Amino acid sequence: MTTATRSDARWGAVRAGLSRGWLETKYSVRDPGDLVWNLAFPLIYAVVLLFMRGSTVPGTDFSLGASVLPGLVGMSIAFGGLTGPASTIAVDREDGTLLRAKATPDGMIGYLVGKIVMFALTTLVTLVVLVIPGATVAGDLRLDARTWLLLVLVFLMGMVATVPISVALGSLFKRASQTGLLFLGSMLLVVPSGIFYPITALPEWLQWVGQVFPYYWLGLGARSAMLPDEMAVSEIGGSWRTLEMFAVLGAWAVVGMVLAPIVLRRMARGASGSTVAAARERYLTKGY
């Protein structure tokens, strides 16, 4: 296969992935269970912000809601990209989706692109539900053209940095129910991430731990977009470190995009029509 042919095949897989992601998104938003799951948390967060109206950060005159909303945005991006995709891998393996992707040239690339598109769009819905009402009750926010541009860039980088990693981790689980461990791990990582507060409040060794993972950088990116510049004084180095934020998220994206197709191909290598049928039968009879 020539280089040009190989390139055309990959672009074809990407286009197929974009189409697949759009179709899966439409199915997801029409499913009552998925819709409730996607909207429940942002609606709860919006109500919490509503009750914070008029409150300020202790010792300051800065709005409490304004200090919390960026953290909720960063966490929503992180959770949308890290916890959701992993739970779909076991299902796709059992219903034959991965087997079909393996049989298609560059099918795993298309599959991965589809997951990025789907979870980016569903996460975007949750952010809209959260940010629009949240911005109306959280005073002192910085809401200008720079804010929205930076939020879009942080969101896109966050999705590309987290969804492939989630897909790769989801490949390690044999059943969808086991992905609850990933959700638990994600919750534990919130503690040293500084996603709701400047990470400088933590011991130095925890600061280094937090900066390894995307959570910290997504929270920092959201704060840098939505909070006034003078709030950066409480961050590491007294700066939003925008370039470093994009560099770290970019590194996670590269690792995920390289690792996820490899792991998916290895997982699908042992799959066959008979194993898929057996897994499907087990799922129908035992509920997993």
Res 139: pLDDT:
73
Question: How far is Cα of residue 37 from the mean position of the Cα atoms in its chain?
Answer: 15
Task: Give CA–CA dist 176/288, Å, rounded.
Answer: 7
Sign of the dihedral through C-alpha 8, 9, 12, 13: negative
Task: Give CA–CA dist 249/127, Å, rounded.
Answer: 19
Res 4: pLDDT:
58
Q: What tens digit of pLDDT does each residue of 92-143 get?
A: 877 777 778 777 777 788 889 999 999 999 999 999 988 888 877 777 788 8
pLDDT confidence tier of residue 162, bands split at 50, 70 and 90? very high
Q: Which amino acid makes up residue 258?
A: V
Res 10: pLDDT:
74
**Taking 70 as the threshold, does the pLDDT of residue 272 lie above it?**
no
Alpha helices in the chain (DSSP H): 3-30, 32-51, 64-82, 84-94, 97-102, 107-137, 145-170, 180-193, 204-212, 214-226, 242-269, 273-286
Q: Which two tokens stand for residue 158?
A: 């966050």
The number of beta carbons lying within 10 Å of the beta carbon of residue 240 is: 20
Comparing 288 with 145, which gets the higher pLDDT? Answer: 145
DSSP 3-state of 55: coil
User: Once rounded to an integer, what is the mean pLDDT over residues 228-253?
Assistant: 92
User: Once rounded to an integer, what is the mean pLDDT over residues 3-18?
Assistant: 74
Residues 182, 86: contact at Cβ < 8 Å?
yes
Residues 6+ apart with CB under 8 A from 223: 70, 71, 74, 231, 235, 240
Res 288: pLDDT:
44
DSSP 3-state of 279: helix
| Element of type H or E holding 144 | none
Q: What tens digit of pLDDT does each residue of 180-206 get?
A: 777 787 888 888 888 887 788 889 998
Residue with tokens 């990693």: 165
Res 283: pLDDT:
47
**Taking 60 as the threshold, does the pLDDT of residue 278 lie above it?**
no
Comparing 273 with 72, which gets the higher pLDDT? Answer: 72
Residue with tokens 């929503």: 76
Res 159: pLDDT:
95
Residues 6+ apart with CB under 8 A from 110: 13, 14, 16, 17, 20, 101, 104
The rounded radius of gyration (Å) of the Cα atoms in the chain is 20
Percent pLDDT > 70 in the chain is 88
The domain tally of the chain equals: 1
Res 270: pLDDT:
56
Res 49: pLDDT:
84
Single pTM value for the model:
0.86
pLDDT confidence tier of residue 254, bands split at 50, 70 and 90? very high
The number of beta carbons lying within 10 Å of the beta carbon of residue 181 is: 13
Comparing 247 with 88, which gets the higher pLDDT? Answer: 247
- The average confidence (pLDDT) of the chain is 83
Task: Give CA–CA dist 233/230, Å, rounded.
Answer: 6
Q: Which two tokens stand for residue 261?
A: 């197709």
Q: Which two tokens stand for residue 264?
A: 């998916």
Res 121: pLDDT:
93
The number of beta carbons lying within 10 Å of the beta carbon of residue 26 is: 12
Residue range of the domain that includes 122: 3-286
Residues 6+ apart with CB under 8 A from 212: none
